[in-house]
Chain A
Amino acid sequence: MSAVADRLYRNRRIKNGIALVLSALSAAFGLFWLVWILWTTLLHGIAAMKPSLFTQMTPPPGADGGIANALFGSLLMSALAILIGTPIGIAAGTYLAEFAKKKAIGETIRFVNDILLSAPSIVLGLFVYTLVVRTTGHFSGFAGALALALIVLPVVVRTTDEMLQLVPSTMREAALSLGVPQWKVTVQVLYRSALPGIMTGVLLALARISGETAPLLFTALNNQYWTSDLTAPMASMPVVIFQYAMSPYESWQSLAWAGAFVVTLFVLLIGILSRAILLRTKVTHD
């Protein structure tokens, strides 16, 4: 009897051991690739780093140059996208959390927003193409910013909605019982309490659009020169990286790596920053 129990016990322990080793291995496997990719980007990126990168324009094939115009274009379009997407997103999130919490329409919008959040970005690019580029007849930085704003929007809507729902309802009731009108309660009490969370959402959205390539390919297109004219085609980091990495010229490829390094560094920094904001507020909230 005890021999049977012993065997059963041993078998279970062996099975458990195998499964746990497999799980640890798969964790190592997953991390291995990711570390490898980061390492490659770091290695090639640092090798291609030089000061002229940030002062010179994107060069013609074979020549030497920088990525200043692409950096500027990316910054300009991202800033514009955040400026367009954030207010609409915060307003829509407020609607979901404060006015349509348990309503069918609220659930529908939440669902649609989640779809928009994970929809392929290239489809959003095609949408802006038919909406803006086709009607105006030319590619433009503004169209690029609009496509990016469509990516910012659902991220901000979702975080605003979630963060406002986390604000304790006693706060709303206390403010309302003092006779404060609802819009003031929302703007001066709820937003203040939910601000770190909403900021995180905006930062996450910024991280996401700073590497987005697909929606810019046929909205902002590309531009070899420095331009701040939003009605003209505009260069951006991801599109330049794409074009240069696919090219056969060594100097272009090394510029692409430098660009990839800058973008990755930027995205990781924003990720760490937003995490820090969330962590700090979590402590103060309790």
Chain B
Amino acid sequence: MAASGSAITTSMTTAIVDANRRNTRDARADGAFRWLVTAAGMFVLVALAGVALSMLWGGREAFSTFGFNFLFSTEWDAVHHQFGALVPIYGTLVTALIAMLIAVPVSFGIALFLTEVAPNWLRGPVAAAIELLAGIPSIIYGMWGLFVFVPIMAAYVNPWLDSHLGHWPLLGPLFTGPPLGIGMLTAGIVLAIMVIPFVSSVMREVFLTVPTRLRESAYALGSTTTEVVWDIVLPYTRSAVIGGIFLGLGRALGETMAVTFVLGNAHRLSASLLEPGNSIAATIANEFTEADSDIYRSSLIALGFLLFVVTFIVLTVAKLMLRRLSRHEGAK
């Protein structure tokens, strides 16, 4: 009796000790796991901060040498070590602006077509095709631009613009220039073609979030498709549509390869869109490995920092706008 009782207690104690040990082991493993994934999460934060700080650090020489002049000077002289960022900044903004002017209405039309107009059997395949095309590397767009689109611009579009719009009072200076084919306008159009699949798939997804009963109620009251889109879908998704546009803008501003091929790499400020120009990303891509002095390299990194700051602001606006729709959805 006593012997068997002690046997039970020993086996019980070993079981308890065993369970305790397993518990502590599990707790330790849990702690380690938690620590591991937290560290990875923090790494993402540190990565972005690292990107910003390293740009600032690499560009400090340019910023301290040229001061605010760096932003407003058009000079880019590698021989005399004089660098100003105005030409690339101007080129970046202008090409992105042209791209958005073309891409936004077209993307809106595509999204509208895919959510309201097209027959049902067509919607899925076309949407999938557009999303697949959004994944094509930008260098392909650049190559197409250089080998196919530039000759067309040089042979037909540029001369036509020059002779027909060139002597208009206000717009004229924008469209006068030699028929080179390469230039800001070409770069803007290639950029537009590149961001269209991207913006239109964001817009399409956003349009799909509109509750069916809202749309169907409007249809039931006799609205036409246009009226449903204009008065129901757009007001419901306005902020998210703007967010999608800003995402596209962020992409257009920072795009390197599609632009580098067709922009011409000329450090000259000209009013004409038909003249070659430069953008921040194209300048860095073209010149970085050839930069032969510290101040040259530092100026290029400083350009990268400017690009980073601008895209950061644009993307932040995009995120905030897109978030408003999801909050909207959560509230309903």
Contact = CB atoms under 8 A, between A and B. Distances in A.
Interface stretch (B9-17, B34-42, B65-73, B164-172): B34-42
Contacts of A91: 36-37, 39-41
Interface of B is mostly: helix
A182 interface: yes
A120 B281 contact: yes
B208 interface: no
Given A12-B224, A120-B281, A218-B289, A242 B139 contact: yes
Contacts of A115: 48, 312, 315-316, 319
B107 interface: yes
Interface string B172-216: 000000000000000000000100110010000000000000000
Interface in A39-61: 40-41, 44
Contacts of B30: 181-183
A54 B312 CA distance: 41
A92 B44 contact: yes
B254 interface: yes
Contacts of B138: 211, 213
A267 interface: yes
B251 A118 contact: yes
Interface residues of A, number: 90
A277 B141 CA distance: 28
Given A120-B254, A122-B285, A130-B54, A34 B193 contact: yes
B205 to A, nearest CB: 13
Contacts of B118: 24, 27
Given A120-B311, A181-B29, A153 B256 contact: no
A211 to B, nearest CB: 2
B289 A23 contact: no
Interface residues of B, number: 91
A46 to B, nearest CB: 15
Interface of A: 12-13, 15-16, 19-20, 22-27, 29-31, 33-34, 36-38, 40-41, 44, 88-89, 91-92, 94-96, 98-100, 105-106, 108-109, 111-116, 118-124, 126-127, 129-131, 150, 153-154, 157, 181-183, 186, 204, 207-208, 210-214, 217-218, 221, 238, 241-242, 245-246, 253, 256-257, 260, 263-264, 267-268, 271-272, 275
Given A27-B114, A123-B55, A214-B257, 17 more contacts: A19-B225, A23-B110, A30-B197, A31-B130, A95-B40, A108-B45, A111-B319, A118-B251, A126-B304, A182-B30, A207-B135, A213-B137, A214-B281, A221-B289, A268-B136, A271-B132, A272-B132
